Amino acid sequence: MIHARGLVQTFHTRQGRQKAEVRAVDGVDLDVAEGEVVGFLGPNGAGKTTTLRMLTTLLTPTAGQATVAGYDVVSESEQVRRSIGYVSQAGGAFSGARAGDEVMDHGMLYGLSRKVVEDRGKRLFEQMDLDGLWGRMPKNMSGGQKRRLDVVMGLINEPTLVFLDEPTTGLDPQARANLWEHIRDLRDRRGATVFLTTHYLDEADALADRILIIDQGRIVAADTSDNLKAQVAGDLVDLEVADRGKVPEAAGKLASITGDGRDVTVADKHVRGRVPRAGRALQGLLRDLDRAGIDLDSIEVHRPTLDDVFLSMTGRSLRDAEATAKGAVEGVAQDGGSQQADPDVTSEPSEVPQGVLR
């Protein structure tokens, strides 16, 4: 559905007299198969939106080529536009115009007749839980309603490929969960291929069959969420030792189960290390600690997150995501794993997620 090779986009910026060239996208190769839901993940400024704008014909690539829905984005841009739906970050419906009017005009710009657009539009309003809002102005809608209206506009030409740029940014958790359902429906009910950008790890995790990670204009990883996580060795075990004097001893015990001598880090009363299959190994560790008379204040196990993947790929943490995952954290050894954004932030009590054993 999408094949891109060596996509490059450079911008020229000017600071005083100095002209600088910024390579916002620096040689992106990517392939998306029909029927896939692909998450395009990366921190702000990594080149997600710029890549998307090239794939949706809004921006001409500086170099490289791409075919979208079988058409070249440069020489066959009109056919590309007919085949895709695009929901931009900014939306697309004017806040001071009636929702229905905006949908009608948008659909008719595709050359569709008034009747066809109206039928489709009203049906989409029902499917997107927007019943009765046809005559309302977006400025009088909730964030979630407005976002769903944007999706309706993106679907009015019945595209086989839908691009969503940061679809849930700024939505409250309920509206977010609701929109996720609708995004899943795009594929499950409409059979559409979905390409969505996000800087939310849990979003990519929850929605995408496959994840592409972009950093500084380059794709650094492309695989399923599980495979990506498997590349990060082991679960993060975090012990908080009650007695400060016993910390070194506890570190030694933890090191004995981290396998091939992987690093154990000590910070204050915390001892951390990556343990393959922690669920099984912990039992022995706890008995061991007990025998040695080492008491714990808490113990946490984090399944590898996409943030860990990002960290291991780029050497940096995906800090942009920190705002997301609070409250979406899951407890010890639960399947699906902890979705905490930042694995370093467990030492302060206020940040300790639910599910911590005390």
Partner 1 sequence: MSTFFRETFIVFRRQLRMNLRNPAWVIIGALQPVLYLLLFGPLLKPLVNQFGATNAYTFFVPGMLVQLGIFGAFFAGFSLIGEWREGVIEAERVTPASRTALLVGRLYRDLLQLLVQALILILLGYALGMSASLPGLVLGTLLTLLIGGACAAASNALALTTKSEDVMAPVINMVMMPVLLLSGILLPMTIGPVWLEKASDYMPIRHVVDGVRSSFAGDLYSSGVMWGTVWSVLLFGIAVWWGTSTFRKENA
Note the residues at the interface with partner 1 (CB under 8 A): 11, 53, 56-60, 78, 81-82, 84, 86, 88-97, 101-102, 105-106, 108-111, 150, 153, 157
Q: Are 121 and 104 in contact (CB under 8 A)?
A: yes
Cα–Cα dist 30/351, whole Å: 37
Q: Please, what is the minimum distance in Å from the beta carbon of residue 192 to partner 1? A: 16
20, amino acid identity = A
Whichever of 43 and 85 has its CB closer to partner 1, that residue is 85
Q: For residue 184, give the nearest of 167, 201, 169 by alpha carbon.
A: 167
Pairing of strands 84-87, 161-165: parallel
Whichever of 38 and 112 has its CB closer to partner 1, that residue is 112
Q: Please, what is the minimum distance in Å from the beta carbon of residue 318 to partner 1? A: 24
Q: Please, what is the minimum distance in Å from the beta carbon of residue 47 to partner 1? A: 14
3-state secondary structure of 266: strand
Q: What are phi and psi of 299, to 5 degrees?
A: -140, 135
Q: Please, what is the minimum distance in Å from the beta carbon of residue 96 to partner 1? A: 6
For 259, residues 6+ apart whose C-beta sits below 8 A from its C-beta are 233, 234, 275, 276
Whichever of 89 and 160 has its CB closer to partner 1, that residue is 89
Whichever of 81 and 148 has its CB closer to partner 1, that residue is 81
Whichever of 171 and 329 has its CB closer to partner 1, that residue is 171
Q: Please, what is the minimum distance in Å from the beta carbon of residue 201 to partner 1? A: 25
Whichever of 164 and 275 has its CB closer to partner 1, that residue is 164
Residue 6, token pair as written in the block: 């060596």
Residue 220, token pair as written in the block: 């650094």
Whichever of 110 and 180 has its CB closer to partner 1, that residue is 110
Strand order through the sheet with 193-198: 84-87, 161-165, 193-198, 37-41, 210-215, 218-223
Q: Where are the alpha helices (DSSP H) in 189-305?
A: 201-207, 225-231, 247-255, 278-291
Q: Please, what is the minimum distance in Å from the beta carbon of residue 125 to partner 1? A: 17
Distances (CA, A) of 156 to 82, 92, 285, 294, 324: 11, 13, 58, 63, 30
Q: For residue 48, give the nearest of 5, 91, 88 by alpha carbon.
A: 88
Q: For residue 222, give the nearest of 237, 214, 212, 232 by alpha carbon.
A: 212
Whichever of 97 and 177 has its CB closer to partner 1, that residue is 97
Q: Please, what is the minimum distance in Å from the beta carbon of residue 139 to partner 1? A: 10
Q: Please, what is the minimum distance in Å from the beta carbon of residue 56 to partner 1? A: 6
